[in-house]
Chain A
Amino acid sequence: MSVSFDPFDTETIRGRIAAFIAGQGVAEVAVGPLRRFTVGFSWVTFGLRASWRDAGGTVERDLILRAGPPNGIFGPYRAFPEFTTLGALAGSGVPVPKVYWYSDDTEILGAPFFICDLVPGDAPIPWTHDGGPAFDDATRVNLGGQFVSALAALHSFRWQETPVAGIGGETDVARTAAAQIDTWERLLGEWSPSRVPMLEHAAIWLRAHAPVAAKIAIVHGDFRIGNFLVADGRITAILDWELVQLGDPMEDLGWICLQAWRGRSPYMCHLFTREDLCERYAALTGAPVDLAAVRYWEAFGTYKLAVMHYGATHCFAERGFNDLRMAGMGAQIPRMLLQVESAMERAA
Chain B
Amino acid sequence: MNIALERLLEGIVATLRNDVIPHVGDAYARGQAVGVIDLINNIGPRIEWARAPLIETVGEKIALLSAVATLLPGVAAPHEASAVESLSSAELAAERDRLDAAIGDALALAHGAGEEGKSALTLIVRHLHDEQARAMKTTRKPLFAEIASGRDDKDK
Contacts and interface: CB of A to CB of B under 8 A. Distances in A.
Interface residues of B, number: 43
Interface in B1-51: 1-4, 7-8, 11-12, 14-15, 18-19
Interface in A174-205: 192-198, 200-201, 204
A333 B140 CA distance: 11
Contacts of A24: none
A244 B145 CA distance: 26
Contacts of B19: 322
Most B C-beta atoms less than 10 A away, residue of A322, A330, A338:
A322
A334 B143 CA distance: 16
Contact of B128 (A317, A324, A333, A341): A341
Nearest to B146: A129
**SS class, residues of chain B in contact with chain A:** helix
Majority DSSP secondary structure for residues of A touching B: helix
B52 interface: no
B111 interface: yes
A96 to B, nearest CB: 23
B3 A316 contact: yes
A192 B104 CA distance: 14
- Chain A: number of interface residues, binned into ranges: 35 or more
Contacts of B101: 194-195
A8 B18 contact: yes
Interface in A323-346: 323-325, 327-328, 330-335, 337-338, 341
Given A129-B153, A201-B107, A341-B132, 10 more contacts: A125-B148, A131-B141, A195-B103, A196-B100, A196-B104, A197-B103, A317-B2, A327-B11, A331-B139, A331-B142
Interface of B: 1-4, 7-8, 11-12, 14-15, 18-19, 96-97, 100-101, 103-104, 107-108, 111, 124-125, 128-129, 132-133, 135-136, 139-150, 153, 156
Interface of A: 8, 38-39, 125, 127-129, 131, 192-198, 200-201, 204, 313, 316-317, 322-325, 327-328, 330-335, 337-338, 341
